[in-house]
Amino acid sequence: MLRDDDPRLDLHFLAVRQGIGLLGLILPVALYAYGQSGAGRMQPSISEFYYTAMGDVFVGCLTAIGVFLLSYRGYRARPAIFPLGDRATSIIAGLAALGVAFLPAGADPAHARCLAGGTPGACAGALPDPTLLTGLHFLTGPLHFACAAVFFLALAWFCLVLFPMGGRRRPDGGPALSLEHLTYYICGGILIAAILAALAYLALPFKDQMRAVNYIFWVETAGVLAFAVAWLVKGHALTRPLGFRIAGSAE
């Protein structure tokens, strides 16, 4: 198995990792900036920005992430505890990302923004029907959240199992705990915590209060930023931006 610092490593390999990470950073930041740019524009969740002027950004970023993941080759080595390696996990995550993009969640008329004569404004109950795109009627919402859960779980698997397989090793062959590995474990823990926090939202009785503070948006943002940081670290974004070596940087 090639190490991340092996000179034979394909530069495209690092660029794909960095592209995934950069898109993960851009998406929540861009949506939050839009949400703070005017009254009523902030949405209770990342998914509900689909019904705003940032809908194209939401779909575009997730589509690009999905395509990057589908093109990601990774390593051939598989973990002993479960035969799901880089390639299979990236395909699962990529398909799930496309599902999140193209199977929209339901919208809240109080927050959604519609275009009338080219000007965005309150929808007043007239929301675009996501079933017109999918033909799946009332299944789009559940399928959207199922895809989001699979997406986060696959990314957590990368952080907790697959990414630590690279880098420095102990004499017994196991991963030597380093700042890099610690970053992966923290990011993976945040992704798992985000999934549990989203499930807690479904079970807790005070949803209106949680929705008022955009609880799901912040849960999703934590998960997205965690996976973005992990992929940027794995892609050596600081020392090998887009695969190019910075002069004087350590390999």
Pairing verdict, β 119-122 and 113-116: antiparallel
Q: Domain boundaries in the chain?
A: 11-243
Tokens read off for 157: 């698997």
Distance between CA atoms of residues 233 and 246, nearest Å: 15
pLDDT in tens, the chain (251 residues): 445 445 444 556 777 888 889 999 999 999 999 988 876 678 888 988 887 888 899 999 999 999 999 988 777 777 777 778 889 999 999 999 999 998 887 665 555 555 455 555 555 444 444 444 444 445 667 888 899 999 999 999 999 998 888 766 666 666 667 888 899 999 999 999 999 999 998 888 887 888 888 899 999 999 999 999 999 998 877 666 665 555 444 44
Q: Tell the burial category of 174 from Cβ atoms under 10 Å away from its Cβ (0-12, 13-18, 19+).
A: exposed
